[in-house]
Amino acid sequence: MAEKQGTSRKKIAGWVAAVGTATAGLATFLTNVTTIADFFKGGEVSAGAASSSATAGPRTRVVPPMDGSGVTPTPYEPGESRQSVPDPFLATWTGTVFQRGGPSTKYPVEIELAGGRPGEQIARVRYDTLDCGGVWRLQTAWAEVIRSTESIQSGRSHCEDTVTVTLSMQPDGQVYYEFLDEEGRVGQGILHKS
């Protein structure tokens, strides 16, 4: 009987240790994952901790699957801060935006992206099926990512007037497009050079 109790105590001690290890692993995982809310807010979140500098950029960004597209973009690293739009972005980009929370859930976009420094106009954008278009002004640039303010100039009744848009270079040379507007509508897309 004493031997059985000793064996039971050993099993219980083993279970307690396993639960403790699993709990510690979960805590570590949760501290290293950027929440989707932070991601769509454009938060500068590093792997494991929030960045203290708005220009530093996250080391690794968790990228969620794009609703309705069947596509999961590659997480990205922005690289070093830049004073202007990096050359690989200088092109005309086209693709499809998948949007949550708006009247249109899928629509084409075309972006003519030129060079420029923070505060300068760097692009013209068109959403033909929404009958609107506008310009982008650069907020911040890194080696692999640019963040801009989109201002709609035509068709304001069809599109949100001002949103923040981020483009990130993907390993295959395409770019991942994302925006979040003030009403919480999210848009995502994979764009290619046209």
CA atoms within 13 A on the CB side of 154: 10
Taking the C-alpha atoms of residue 90 and residue 119, their distance in angstroms, rounded to an integer, is 17
Q: Which pLDDT tens digits describe the chain residue by residue (194 residues)?
A: 545 555 555 555 554 454 444 444 434 333 333 333 343 344 433 222 223 333 444 445 556 566 666 677 776 778 899 999 999 999 999 999 988 766 668 899 999 999 999 999 999 999 999 999 999 999 999 999 999 999 999 998 888 888 999 999 988 899 999 997 777 778 889 999 99
CATH of the domain at 94: 2.40.128
| Residue 41 within any structural domain of the chain | no
For residue 35 the two structure tokens come to 């929440």
Q: What pLDDT does 93 receive?
A: 98
| Residue 61 within any structural domain of the chain | no
| Residue 31 within any structural domain of the chain | no
Contacts 24+ apart (CB under 8 A), 47-55: 54/140, 55/81, 55/140
Supply the range of the domain harboring residue 183: 66-193
| Residue 72 within any structural domain of the chain | yes
| Residue 82 within any structural domain of the chain | yes
| Residue 143 within any structural domain of the chain | yes
Q: What pLDDT does 70 receive?
A: 66
| Residue 34 within any structural domain of the chain | no
Q: What pLDDT does 182 receive?
A: 75
| Residue 129 within any structural domain of the chain | yes
Q: What pLDDT does 92 receive?
A: 98
Q: What pLDDT does 174 receive?
A: 92
For the question of whether the overall pTM of this predicted structure is more than 0.85, the answer is: no
Number of domains into which the chain is organized: 1
